Structure 1
Amino acid sequence: MIKKITPVLVAGVLLAPGTAHARTTPAVMAALGDSISAGFNACGWYVACTSRSWSAGDHPSVNSHYLRLLSLAPAIKGHNLNFAVPGSTSADLAGQARQAVRSGAQYVTILIGAQDACMGSERDMTPVSVYRRRIDEALNVLKPSGAQVFVASIPDLKRLWRVGKDNAWARAFWAVGRICQSMLAGPTSTAKKDVARRDAVRERVMAYNDELRQACAAYGPTCRYDGGAVFGYPFTLKLLSPWDYFHPNADGQRALAKVTFDAGFYAAVEP
């Protein structure tokens, strides 16, 4: 039987029994990233649904990081900022980080990189070295603020292909919408070049995730990487939007919220 840990909140500081360090609960949080953190297609047709964001959403169906933190520290109420923008790549992250700093965010979540790999073709993917430089730039913007940073791994795009390739609706949406063609073009093809292309995209995502891990470690103890939790999550078609079979629906956002929060700063003291 797992014993539930009861946190003690003193002047905005969480003291969890048996923990070596107190954690100051944030009064302002911000979500940075792309369409996933913006809640794209989670509640409407091709629109950002920030209320359903796994990070800063306020809809109870998702039980986001914001709502979980709200249960620990009521001072954060209404201070759930979302600077994630659909279509963003790592090139946009530093700008979002500046917005977070200007807004006084004390807790920041980052999920970025799917769009760096989801290009029109394999050769257009962001080089790993460029991706890392951009991540470092964004973290360097955040570091002087003292913000806690949670970094989520990029989802396994090849799993997305695997769970959707035999679904006619998924294939149709991927083709008509030209969605992530580096991975999803010719989804039923077993030609060697297509198999190699999918493997190359997956390897690129894995390389990005390794750079995220290293960059977070370099940031210091106030950065937490999810340890590959999102990449390894066994999502299914039921967790994807029926409007594109690519972005998480509300249930998918809820799953992301849980798997990431469980890997984060406050899991041990969640009520």
Structure 2
Amino acid sequence: MRKRRPRSRAVLAVVAAAVLGVAGCDAVGGDSGPAATRRSSPSPTPTWDRAPDSLAAVGDSITRGFDACSVLSDCPEVSWATGSDPKVKSLAVRLLGTDGAAKRSWNYAVTGARMADLPGQMAKAVPRKPELVAVMAGANDACTSSVSTMTSVARFRASFEEAMDTLRASLPKAQVYVSSVPDLKRLWSQGRGNPLGKQVWKLGICPSMLGDADALDASATSRRAKVQKRVVAYNEVLREVCAKDERCRFDGDAVFDYRFGTKQLSHWDWFHPSTNGQARLAEIAYRTVTARKPTA
């Protein structure tokens, strides 16, 4: 009996430890194991805020609502980014509400601007401290007097990187939505059937793509193909530069891929977005900004 007692005590100790382990949460007044630690740890703050509280827009004539309301004129109230027109329901209105959009959204886009102008626009937006910056630029880099005068891909990249650096120098946590450049060749194919539109095109709207609108010879076809190829290259730059910034979202070519029809084109120049077209751009932007995951 004396020889067995130590062994019995050892068995009792093991059993007691096991019981205490099972009832550990009650013994110490709460969970104390690894699983409990994981449950009580705060969730990490997501990098991307799907509901930013202010917005600044930069870019070109599309963001200014050019030719959407009257011929050869800006119409910012129908801008896809910051407009107030209820038929458009701009990105700002969708995110901030009508009153919020009026107070906390700003449009620094300029008709005719190229990517080289974007750093300056960013610099103007920075003092507002927007939580989201909406970018749509690049069409004018391809819409030049001729194919030879289009902005080089390298220069396009350098300007966009400079614009992002300008923003990040002052607002490292601001989010950026980047729209792809629209499919200019599709806009030509949709608008060239309208005589009035072609007359307006002759005033100097996107000559590299829209010049000699009815010409279908080898030279004209080659010219348009080169413009199209450059636009595709610009969009790849936008994708690559944006991908390097964890607070930047590219639309995944959604605007480029959108099949604009005559209803979505200005009835003054049959090239820029109409009010309906602006609404479609706002939908794409809102879908991208509020998505749980960025577009691939």
TM-score bracket, normalised by the shorter chain, equals 0.7 to 0.9
Aligned to 2:176: 149
- Taking the aligned partners of 2:213 and 2:121, their CA distance within structure 1 comes to 34
Q: Identity of counterpart residues, as a percentage?
A: 40
**What is aligned with 1:125?**
150
Name 2:60's counterpart in structure 1: 34
The one of 198, 218, 232 equivalent to 2:224 is: 198
1:232 pairs, out of 253, 257, 260, with 257
SS at match of 2:272: coil
Task: Report deviation, 1:92.
Answer: 0.6
Using the TM superposition, give the Cα deviation of residue 26 of structure 1 relative to its aligned residue in structure 2, in angstroms. 2.7
Match of 2:207 in 1: 181
Q: 1:20 Cα deviation (Å)?
A: 8.3
CA contact (8 A) 1:26 1:76 kept: no
Answer yes or no: is the 8 Å Cα contact 1:57–1:80 preserved in 2. Answer: no
Q: Taking structure 2 as the reference length, what is the TM-score of the superposition?
A: 0.79
Report the alpha carbon displacement of residue 178 of structure 1 after superposing the two structures with TM: 1.9
Assess, with a 3 A threshold, how the Cα gap between structure 1 residues 88 and 98 changes in structure 2: closer, same or farther: same
- Which string of whole-angstrom CA distances, capped at 9 and with x for unpartnered residues, describes residues 178-224 of structure 1? 21110011111121111000000000000000000001011x22100
Alignment match of 1:214 (pick from 225, 237, 240)? 240
Give the structure 2 partner of residue 160 of structure 1. 187
5+ residue gaps, structure 1, are 1-18
Which of 51, 72, 85 in structure 1 is aligned with 2:77? 51
With normalisation by structure 1, the TM-score equals 0.86
Q: Would the aligned equivalents of 1:41 and 1:49 in 2 still touch at CA under 8 Å?
A: yes
Structure showing the higher helix proportion among its residues: 2
Residue type at the aligned position of 2:218 = K
Instruction: Compute the RMSD of aligned alpha carbons.
Output: 2.0
The secondary structure found in structure 2 opposite 1:81 is: strand
Q: Please give the secondary structure, in 2, of the residue aligned with 1:149.
A: strand
1:80 alignment partner, one of 93, 105, 117: 105
Residue ranges of structure 2 left out of the alignment (5+ in a row) = 1-43
Q: Is residue 31–residue 56 contact of structure 1 (8 Å, CA) maintained in 2?
A: yes
- For 1:38 and 1:86, the matched residues in 2 are separated by 7
Residue equivalent to 1:265: 289
Residues 62 and 190 of structure 1: is their aligned pair in 2 closer, same or farther, counting only changes over 3 Å? same
Q: Distance in 2 between matches of 1:234 and 1:268?
A: 25
Take 2:89 and 2:290, find their aligned partners in 1: how far apart are those partners? 14
CA-to-partner distance for each residue in 1:38-59, whole Å, 9 max, x for gaps?
1112223322111111011121
Deviation at 1:171, TM superposition (A): 1.8
Q: Which has the larger radius of gyration?
A: 2
Secondary structure in 2 matching 1:119: coil
Alignment correspondent of 2:163: 138
Task: Tell me the alpha carbon deviations over residues 21-70 of structure 1, each in whole angstroms, 9 at most, x when there is no partner.
Answer: 37273332101000000111222332211111101112111011101102
Tell me the secondary structure at the aligned position of residue 265 of structure 1.
Answer: helix
Paired AA for residue 134 in structure 2: T
> Which amino acid letter does the alignment assign opposite residue 224 of structure 1?
R
Q: Which of 108, 112, 115 is matched with 2:133 structurally? A: 108
Higher mean Cα deviation, 20-29 or 34-43? 20-29
Task: Write the deviation string for residues 153-199 of structure 1: whole angstroms up to 9, x where unpaired.
Answer: 00000001111222222222212x12111001111112111100000
Q: Which residue of 1 aligns with 2:272?
A: 247
| Change over 3 Å in CA distance of 1:119–1:75 after alignment to 2 | closer
C-alpha spacing 1:267/1:58, structure 2 compared with 1 (3 Å): farther
Q: Quick one: distance in 2 between partners of 1:185 and 1:124?
A: 14
Residue correspondences, number: 247
